[in-house]
Amino acid sequence: MSQSFNRGTVEDFGRWREFSAGMWAWIFHKFTGWVLVGYLFTHIAVLSTSLGGDELYTSTLQGLEALLVVRFLEVGLLAVAVFHILNGVRLLMVDLGVGLEAQDKSFYASMVLTGAITVASIPTFLGGPLA
Ligand code: HEM
């Protein structure tokens, strides 16, 4: 026998207030996964300057690292990557049936650890290029 559920209106963005930890984990995992794919193209573009020789590659990196906005973006990229990895490992555990009763707690742990690692990285990234 089939059952039907009233899922409400998809377009009703006000529903985010009802989201549980698992829903936030799903949204953040999608967001971070696609940001990482986007970054991959940027990364390849920057690395490709090495085809123009050592000097072009070095000056490209020095030029980028000299920009404060780039260093802020690097902190954001680290946060995105760390969350995706930690939550990804958590999802793999869930798929294996490990720790099913602690899914919310492990999501919060991923968030806290991501925050701690990101904050710890700030002096390195914002400190600018090494002399
Ligand atoms: C150690 C590193 C990583 C781990 C453990 C990991 C783990 C995972 C897992 C388990 C999923 C499936 C989530 C689900 O069940 O719905 C996933 C989705 C995804 N990952 Fe990763 N991932 C990693 C690195 C990356 C990297 C480097 C990229 C991008 C270059 C990436 C991009 C994506 C994307 C686009 C998705 C699909 C998101 C969606 O649902 O639309 N991941 N990842």
Task: Kindly give the distance from the C-alpha atom of residue 106 to the centroid of ligand 1, in angstroms, as a whole number.
Answer: 17
Q: Looking at residue 52, what is its pLDDT?
A: 96
Q: Looking at residue 31, what is its pLDDT?
A: 98
Q: Looking at residue 130, what is its pLDDT?
A: 62
Is pLDDT above 60 for 81?
Answer: yes
Contact 50, 57 (CB under 8 A): yes
**Residue closest by Cα to atom 23 of ligand 1:** 85
Q: DSSP H helical segments within 1-131, as ranges?
A: 21-48, 54-65, 68-96, 103-126
Is pLDDT above 80 for 2?
Answer: no
Task: Kindly give the distance from the C-alpha atom of residue 33 to the centroid of ligand 1, in angstroms, as a whole number.
Answer: 5
**Residue closest by Cα to atom 1 of ligand 1:** 85
Task: Kindly give the distance from the C-alpha atom of residue 82 to the centroid of ligand 1, in angstroms, as a whole number.
Answer: 11
Q: Which atom of ligand 1 is nearest to the CA of 26?
A: 16
pTM above 0.85, yes or no: yes
Q: Which of 83, 106, 79, 85 lies closest to 94 in space, CA to CA?
A: 106
Considering only 15-24, 36-45, 56-65, 106-115, which range has the smallest mean pLDDT?
A: 15-24
Q: Which of 121, 129, 125, 122 lies closest to 59 in space, CA to CA?
A: 129
Task: Kindly give the distance from the C-alpha atom of residue 12 to the centroid of ligand 1, in angstroms, as a whole number.
Answer: 27
